[in-house]
Structure 1
Amino acid sequence: MAEPIEAEVIQIDNDDSSATSSQLSCFTASLSDSAINYPIEFGRRYHAFRPGSYLFPNDELELQRLDLTHEMMVKGTSGKLFHSPLDPAKTKRIMDIGTGTGIWAMVMADVFPGAEVLGNDLSPVQPSWVPPNVKFEVDDVESPWLHEKPFDFIFSRYMCACIADWPKLVGNIFAGLNPGGWAEFQDFDLEYYSDDGSLREEHDVMKWDRLFLEAVRKTGREVSPGPRLEGWVRDAGFQGVLHRKFKFPIGPWPLDPTLKEVGMYNLVQIENGLEAFSLKLFSGILGWEAEDVKALLMKVRSDLRDKRIHSYFNFHVVYGQKPE
């Protein structure tokens, strides 16, 4: 029987003043034309390839937020870029699914200089100056896989609200590995929690979170894959499966210095993406007027910065090996 997955209770910093704006600001391949003919909605730029399959922007503001979120995810998971027990001598081909800005793939290319690293994404927003062993491609990971050679390590991170059929994706990843290869999945449970009852249903941030989850689910995509990753990975045939859960606080309310920093990263990345997350989904899926969405978001920001509300969400890391 697998060991129970439970994160520790976060100790609270009793300075219950709100996080201030000054704190936040201080903390703070050739492609076809069809892939870069980006549409503009609600003042933000969105991807063009397979429109509708990704719900969030791909403009510079979003790319900056994604790089910040990368730092948060690494710091919040014990400072590790990956958790799988990789053997550098056997890790020659690495794939990064939904690579985004490409930051993880480029760092991995430095860590494994003898490996080829391939990052794919719906948007060609990655930099052109990259390590020589990195390649980026525009592709939909939910389409049939056409790679000529299998991989030794396949990495999937932050694909919540992006995938319609997770068991199929995990099965494709299993099939795309060499025998003995590893796959790692890192993803969110985007339901907000508090351990001490300080986050209540009547809070505007909780109302927003419930509406956000509802809107994404109406698109047919899984918004909180984290808790289900282990089951999908085991069902696909992986062995040696390990599952860890990490708490990511929202705001600098924890007493622990590392969690406090993770909380500040989290607060900044949520605030930087809040309007982009909400306007398209709430207006396009739930039928809200844009003015009403913005009015709600003003209240949500106040709740997010209130250190008396000790909210967090969970981040899950699951890895497994394809049998030899």
Structure 2
Amino acid sequence: MEDIPVDPDFYLETGGASTTPLDFQSETTSLASSIARGRFENGRRYQATKDDDYWGPSDEKQFEAFEIGHMVFLVLDHYQDNPLFRAPIGDFPKRNTAYSRHRNWSRQLGNVMMLPICIRQLPFVVWISSPPPVTWMPPNCIFEVDDVLREWTWREPFDFIHIRLMYGAFPPEGWDQLYKQAYAALEPGGWIEQMEFDVRVRSDDMTLKEEHQLSKWGNIFIKCAERAGRSLNIHETMRSAIEEAGFVEVHEKKSRVPLGAWPRDKVLKETGRLQYAHWNAALEGWAMWLLTHFGEPEPWTEAEVQVFLAKVRNELKNPHIHGYNWINRVWARKPTEEELSSKKRLF
């Protein structure tokens, strides 16, 4: 793990029964329209693909925050030959799928796969929330609104499955099911990759005090999510869960993402500036549903959430707080047919 250098002198610049085709078309159009509309709470739109609730908004405001978050990772991993993923999928991947809240990650992946050497590749991008508001997509990239915990209906296996920033999406048994389905859907020798945040803010130089709202932030929402039955700590469990699903050659990379432009290193300084903008844009979406449904000692009001967020935003502007988040990336391979056969012979 790489240390982020701290510059102490740097400060942030501040129904009918008919079964005719027409009726079927009407029903499906109504379903698509319902999914697109979503459900509304406290002025935010949320997904409408399932009966149970999901904590994250699926509206343009939150998608804009995702875009900034995507830029954070591109700058952080600028030195990589491919900053979009680490799995060594080779030059000839056939089919790829991604579960991601970042629409631009998906679109850029499509552009990567359109290089001449793999012009026929078709990455699938599956969303479990409302359709993202996009006006253009690479011709080899498809958005599908689906529930990934239901039976997968794709007939051809994938070479690469990427899961990105889906913390809090499923209960623990849902994650186990997802990894098992991903294993079954991959070609032997195919790769899975997952990247997730630690929602807690930390500092190594004691500039983040216990009394700061940012210091309390992560634990507040970890507890809210536990009461909702959906852990935000998937970054701590995904490696072992992926291994238990049968994957081999497991790699793990942990990185600090600065919150604010306090580092001395130029790249990390720019990363911190973007992360500051990311947090400012995303705070309400991260907080509103969890606090108004599962806040302590009782669910908060919208006004109480806004007061809390105002305090957090003031601390984000504080140039004396050198905060950061951990981000964890795991990538692993499904065994080849030869490896599986060899293992069977051993037993």
TM over 0.5: yes
Equivalent AA in structure 2 for residue 94 of structure 1: N
Q: Could you tell me which of 96, 106, 124 is aligned with 2:98?
A: 96
Q: Could you tell me which of 327, 332, 345 is aligned with 1:320?
A: 332
- Superposed CA deviations along residues 262-311 of structure 1, whole A, max 9, x for unmatched, are 11111111111112222221122111122222222222112112121111
Q: Which residue of 2 aligns with 1:12?
A: 6
Q: Which residue of 2 aligns with 1:211?
A: 220
* Preserved contact between residue 34 and residue 48 of structure 1 (Cα < 8 Å): yes
* Preserved contact between residue 35 and residue 49 of structure 1 (Cα < 8 Å): yes
Q: Could you tell me which of 306, 316, 326 is aligned with 1:294?
A: 306
Alignment CA distance shift 1:271-1:128 (3 Å): closer
How many Å separate the matches in 2 of 1:223 and 1:19? 31
Aligned residue runs from structure 1 range 179-258, under 5 A = 179-258=188-267
Equivalent AA in structure 1 for residue 221 of structure 2: F
* Preserved contact between residue 53 and residue 162 of structure 1 (Cα < 8 Å): no
How many Å separate the matches in 2 of 1:213 and 1:183? 26
Q: Which residue of 2 aligns with 1:34?
A: 34
- Superposed CA deviations along residues 222-246 of structure 1, whole A, max 9, x for unmatched, are 2021122221121111111110001
Q: Which residue of 2 aligns with 1:119?
A: 125
Please report how far the alpha carbon of residue 217 of structure 1 lies from its aligned counterpart in structure 2 after TM superposition: 1.9
Q: Which residue of 1 aligns with 2:117?
A: none
Q: Could you tell me which of 80, 85, 89 is aligned with 1:82?
A: 85
SS of the counterpart of 2:187? strand
* Preserved contact between residue 162 and residue 194 of structure 2 (Cα < 8 Å): yes
- What percent identity do the matched residue pairs reach? 32
Alignment CA distance shift 1:96-1:235 (3 Å): same
Q: Which moved more, 1:120-129 or 1:139-148?
A: 120-129
Q: Which residue of 1 aligns with 2:106?
A: 105
- Superposed CA deviations along residues 94-126 of structure 1, whole A, max 9, x for unmatched, are 10113x353222212221123111111122125
TM-score by length of 2: 0.83
How many Å separate the matches in 1 of 2:201 and 2:97? 31
Equivalent AA in structure 1 for residue 87 of structure 2: S
Q: Which moved more, 1:9-18 or 1:155-164?
A: 9-18
Please report how far the alpha carbon of residue 166 of structure 1 lies from its aligned counterpart in structure 2 after TM superposition: 1.8
How many Å separate the matches in 1 of 2:51 and 2:102? 19
Please report how far the alpha carbon of residue 19 of structure 1 lies from its aligned counterpart in structure 2 after TM superposition: 4.3
SS of the counterpart of 2:201? strand
* Preserved contact between residue 10 and residue 264 of structure 2 (Cα < 8 Å): no
Equivalent AA in structure 2 for residue 112 of structure 1: M
- Superposed CA deviations along residues 152-202 of structure 1, whole A, max 9, x for unmatched, are 100001111112232221111111101111111111121221112221221
Q: Which residue of 2 aligns with 1:140?
A: 147
* Preserved contact between residue 249 and residue 310 of structure 1 (Cα < 8 Å): yes
Q: Could you tell me which of 139, 144, 165 is aligned with 1:158?
A: 165
Please report how far the alpha carbon of residue 52 of structure 1 lies from its aligned counterpart in structure 2 after TM superposition: 4.0
Unaligned runs of 5+ in 1: 1-6, 21-29
Provide the aligned length of Structure 1 versus Structure 2. Answer: 308
Q: Which moved more, 1:35-44 or 1:243-252?
A: 35-44
- Superposed CA deviations along residues 205-227 of structure 1, whole A, max 9, x for unmatched, are 12233212211221111202112
Write 1 or 2 for the structure with the bigger share of helix.
2
Please report how far the alpha carbon of residue 317 of structure 1 lies from its aligned counterpart in structure 2 after TM superposition: 1.0
Q: Which residue of 2 aligns with 1:4?
A: none
Q: Which one has a bigger Cα radius of gyration? A: 2
* Runs ≥4 residues deviating over 4 A: none
SS of the counterpart of 1:88? coil
How many Å separate the matches in 2 of 1:143 and 1:224? 23
Alignment CA distance shift 1:19-1:305 (3 Å): farther
Equivalent AA in structure 2 for residue 283 of structure 1: T
Alignment CA distance shift 1:110-1:311 (3 Å): same
How many Å separate the matches in 1 of 2:154 and 2:294? 35
Q: Could you tell me which of 130, 143, 162 is aligned with 2:137?
A: 130
Q: Is 1:169 the equivalent of 2:170?
A: no
How much is the aligned-residue C-alpha RMSD, in angstroms? 1.9
How many Å separate the matches in 2 of 1:147 and 1:235? 24
